Structure 1
Amino acid sequence: MARHIVVGVDGSVPATAAVEWAAADAQRRGLGLRIVHVCEQWGYGDGATKYCAGALAAAADRARGLTRDVEVTTELLPGHVIDTLIGESASADSVVLGSRGLGGFAGLVVGSVGLGVAGHAAGAVVIVRGPSVVQYGRVVVGDDGSDESEAAVQYAVEQARARGVPLQVVFAWQMPIAPPLAAGYSKILEGAREHEIRMAAERVVPWREKNPDVEIIGKQVVGHPAEVLIQAGGTADLVVVGSRGLGGFASAVLGSVSHAVLHHLKYPVAVVRAPHGSGETTS
């Protein structure tokens, strides 16, 4: 199959929402759709295998009923769910998952599979919490100048183009805590703020020049990046974030901002990793 979207299913309600989202995305962007069920319980008898096969067939029927001229393929896979889906991501445009599956704790907004795949997969991982009942007509992406955010903006541009909606590129500068009695520190902070906001605005310009068919709006504000993105994403059809940004710990596979956005937004969130070979960034 050429460029394709992978969607993981397990028979849960969020997984069905993920199939619906992935089918619409495949239709808009002219991609194939590969539906997989990682059946970890194959060793527990025919009943588990029949359930897995039935869930996979139901998902395929749903996808085919929502699309036209989209190549839909399915495969029942053995193995560990997270590891297998990460492996699938290597040859996929993106991986789409429901926010929670059949296992784990009902109180969790995003399950361990979604977090595990989003933190390690190649490319984009889209987490879908439920059916999209409202269309706001815009895509929002976070930018902090890192390789991860550059990859996120590229994915967001493609999404906005396919949907025919504006793209808002959001940069948030967080005010550092001023040390007590630091003479002239406020002027230093003001200069740093002006510099970072100017640089963020300048980063938007090449994206506009390279993509004249997409309306790209830059938004530079002072505030915590997670809070700013969550607020902006409350009226967006899709929020796109890099898996890790410039601050935090290099060992973290999923940064604090992307983690917070995943847990607080009820609309689809795409977490994007920079391609292999890009410069390493910290979280």
Structure 2
Amino acid sequence: MAGLVIVGVDGSASSLAAVEAAAREARARKAALKVVHAFLWPAMHVPLGPSPLGPPGGGIQNSVERLVAEAVERARAAAPEVEVSDAVVAGEPLTVLEAQSRAAELVVVGSRGMGGFVGLMVGSTAVHLAAHAHCPVLVVREEARPDGPVVVGVDGSPAGDRAVEFAFEAAELYGTTLVALHAWTTWNAPLPAPQDPSEPYANPAEALGQEEERLLSEALAGHQERHPDVTVEHKLVHGPTREALIEASRDARLMVAGARGRGGFAGLLLGSVSQALLHHAHCPVAVVREGGGRR
């Protein structure tokens, strides 16, 4: 059975950009596309039809039907070969899209919607959905660079392993290079065992670097075996993780990050690195929760 890509729409320019990106994702994945609008107004007990004094085409219900129809038209224009369906579901956007994500292999949303506040760089629905969805979430920020690589942040944590697999799958689907970036500092790198027991804290920076390079290679090994056709560039950066990934996103087609990584606090659903990327990356960002996989 073909997979399913879900895209959330609200009529905003951001969500229409997400629709086009979602259509291209569905085409690459040989999946169907479902355009979903969360219809909040029925719960507000407000009139949905046209006003008796207004035009027949007025009213909230007609407006919703028009915005969904426009989104479907955009999707079909972007990827004519993709099967496109639509659904208007009563409920709050996060609740609706979280429920829809149970049957999907990917959920796509814009970085901001019609309810976005001026100056707010990423909408609350995108952030919360990245933390709660049952499959990977693609947040469409700036336009993807078709010839750019897929970049994935690698930290060696079990939580980040699924993000690495998703990144390999994406690079394979796109036919592009995968840049596996691991950033470390002397503050966040695990201390390797000292070669001289008499100097337990005298580990030179090069020893830390070698340990981090080993961590990167080990984190990629099994994935590389499963995706032998993907060209992988190992990129080790001595510096803060957030800054390194944001800089790498400038030339990327897609940035992939785990929802939480090494050093994440228990109970924290979305880590600081993934949140920083959602707010500041220069390309679309996919956030992958541990255990989330292709349906």
What is the TM-score when the length of structure 2 is the normalising length? 0.86
Which segment drifts farther, 189-198 or 166-175?
189-198
SS of structure 2 residue aligned to 1:234: helix
Match of 2:265 in 1: 249
Distance (whole Å) between structure 2 residues aligned to residue 15 and residue 39 of structure 1? 15
Gaps of 5+ in 2: 49-58, 189-198
1:44 deviation in Å?
Answer: 2.2
Structure 2 residue 76 is the aligned partner of structure 1 residue 74 = no
Distance (whole Å) between structure 2 residues aligned to residue 128 and residue 106 of structure 1? 18
Residue pair 1:139, 1:165 contacting (<8 A) in 2 also? yes
Match of 2:54 in 1: none
- After superposition, the C-alpha distances for 1:240-269 in whole angstroms (9 at most, x for unaligned) are 000000113112111000011111113100
SS of structure 2 residue aligned to 1:59: helix
Residue pair 2:2, 2:30 contacting (<8 A) in 1 also? no
Which segment drifts farther, 59-68 or 14-23?
59-68
1:270 deviation in Å?
Answer: 0.3
Determine which of 128, 136, 157 is the counterpart of 1:146.
157
Residue pair 2:4, 2:105 contacting (<8 A) in 1 also? yes
Residue pair 1:100, 1:111 contacting (<8 A) in 2 also? yes
The 5 A counterparts of 1:99-114 are: 99-114=111-126
Structure 2 residue 70 is the aligned partner of structure 1 residue 54 = no
The 5 A counterparts of 1:119-138 are: 119-132=131-144, 134-138=145-149
Determine which of 213, 218, 226 is the counterpart of 1:210.
226
Residue pair 1:4, 1:94 contacting (<8 A) in 2 also? yes
Match of 1:170 in 2: 181
Q: Which amino acid aligns with 1:7?
A: V
- After superposition, the C-alpha distances for 1:222-251 in whole angstroms (9 at most, x for unaligned) are 211111111111110100000000113112
Pair 276,113 (structure 1): closer, same or farther in 2 beyond 3 Å:
closer
The root-mean-square deviation of aligned C-alpha atoms, in Å, is: 2.1
Q: Which amino acid aligns with 1:149?
A: G
Q: Which amino acid aligns with 1:4?
A: L
Match of 1:86 in 2: 98
Match of 2:23 in 1: 23
Q: Which amino acid aligns with 2:105?
A: D
Match of 1:180 in 2: none
Structure 2 residue 112 is the aligned partner of structure 1 residue 96 = no
What is the TM-score when the length of structure 1 is the normalising length? 0.90
Residue pair 2:35, 2:71 contacting (<8 A) in 1 also? yes
Q: Which amino acid aligns with 2:185?
A: Q
Distance (whole Å) between structure 1 residues aligned to residue 218 and residue 289 of structure 2? 23
- After superposition, the C-alpha distances for 1:114-153 in whole angstroms (9 at most, x for unaligned) are 1110111112101112444x43431000111123311111
Pair 130,261 (structure 1): closer, same or farther in 2 beyond 3 Å:
closer
SS of structure 1 residue aligned to 2:248: helix
1:103 deviation in Å?
Answer: 0.6
Distance (whole Å) between structure 2 residues aligned to residue 130 and residue 238 of structure 1? 10
Match of 1:44 in 2: 46
Larger Rg: 2
Structure 2 residue 101 is the aligned partner of structure 1 residue 63 = no
